[in-house]
Structure 1
Amino acid sequence: MAVQTLESLYSEHHHWLQSWIRSRLNNVEQAQDLTQETFIKVLIKGREHEFNSPKAYLSSIARGLLVDFFRRRTVEQAYLDALQVQPEQHSISAEQHHLIIDTLLQIEKMLDAMSERGRQIFLLAQLDGLSFAEIGRQLNVSVTTVRKHFIRAMTQCLLLIED
């Protein structure tokens, strides 16, 4: 195992990593951006590293960035699709658009962290406006169970707001 500086890691593996990312995106500019983000993450983690396989290390970081990229693109497309069916589109700034997408991603992450039943209860209460008793009847569970899952979901929301 050899200690490798960031400079040598970058010079020896930058081209390979960028090609690896580009093969998954079919977009040169995005591949360049994600390659740089990968090395920024390496830089943030520390200046020198020991690895058996630098390519495995770099591709692991890049894979996480690709997942985030595709998730963001999916959420952004869903948001744009929803805007198109609105009767009148309001012009928003690029900054507002970015904040909306970030908020939607945080909501998606929060919902993904919930149990299936907790997510279902939360959405029935928040989106459909059902009471705990109505949710309990619909899901065939007690009001106590509904309340317990709803409290957990709201706690996750509050933790998200505090971040």
Structure 2
Amino acid sequence: MIEAATPPEHSLHTLYRDHRGWLENWLRKRMGNAWDAADLSQDTFMRVLCSSQPVAEMREPRAYLLTVGKRLLSNFYTRRSLEKAYLDALAHLPEDCVPSPEQRWVVLETLQALDELLDGLPREVRRAFLWSQLEGLGYREIAERLQVSERTVKRYMAQAYEHCLLVDW
């Protein structure tokens, strides 16, 4: 007798049914908030749904879910930190210079995308790249700030540009 392959929807349904509560509880303990934990849990399962790894082939589903959940949790806190820094900066602006809620959202989305783009670069390379791109500093000024040679700054910038070109969006 030939067994029919389990449809992917059924496998995902089983994975979700068996592990959603466990994952949500794990996230709730770390976040202290049931709503954010539920959102991240759903995002985790969406990532699993969109991933190339077939659900039916997962040997350790909780380990896989935990890995995906930890990454999303890290991204969540990074985003929250960016939002806080941005809102703190806005608090120091004169009222007539404060951007609209729509403009704030666009800036926050852009900051998040930039942070994700530069993720994985060494700290000094990120700093050199951001000073060059956002503040318009030249290599000599960056070298002075970082207390390195201009040649090192050129190497940092080449590394940052290469990273940006090779990132898979």
Answer yes or no: same fold by TM over 0.5.
yes
2:49 corresponding residue in structure 1 = 43
Higher normalized contact order (CA 8 Å, seq sep 6+, divided by chain length): 1
Query: What letter corresponds to residue 63 of structure 2 in structure 1?
Result: A
For residues 106 and 11 of structure 1, the distance between their equivalents in structure 2, rounded to whole angstroms, comes to: 32
1:20 corresponding residue in structure 2 = 26
Q: More strand per residue: 1 or 2?
A: 1
Deviations 1:105-134 (A, max 9, x none): 233344444344434433554566544344
TM-score by length of 1: 0.76
Deviations 1:62-120 (A, max 9, x none): 11110110100000001011111112252513x43232112112333444443444344
Q: 1:140 to 1:101 in 2, by over 3 A?
A: closer
CA shift, 1:22, in A, is 0.6
For residues 71 and 134 of structure 1, the distance between their equivalents in structure 2, rounded to whole angstroms, comes to: 28
2:77 corresponding residue in structure 1 = 70
CA shift, 1:38, in A, is 0.9
What is the count of residue pairs matched by the alignment?
A: 158
CA shift, 1:36, in A, is 0.8
Identity %: 37
**Alignment pair present for 1:92 and 2:100:** yes
Q: Which of residues 82, 86, 107 is equivalent to 2:89?
A: 82
Query: What letter corresponds to residue 62 of structure 2 in structure 1?
Result: K
For residues 164 and 46 of structure 2, the distance between their equivalents in structure 1, rounded to whole angstroms, comes to: 30
2:40 corresponding residue in structure 1 = 34
RMSD between superposed Cα atoms in Å: 3.0
For residues 43 and 69 of structure 1, the distance between their equivalents in structure 2, rounded to whole angstroms, comes to: 20
Q: Which runs of 4+ in 1 moved over 6 A?
A: none
For residues 128 and 91 of structure 1, the distance between their equivalents in structure 2, rounded to whole angstroms, comes to: 20
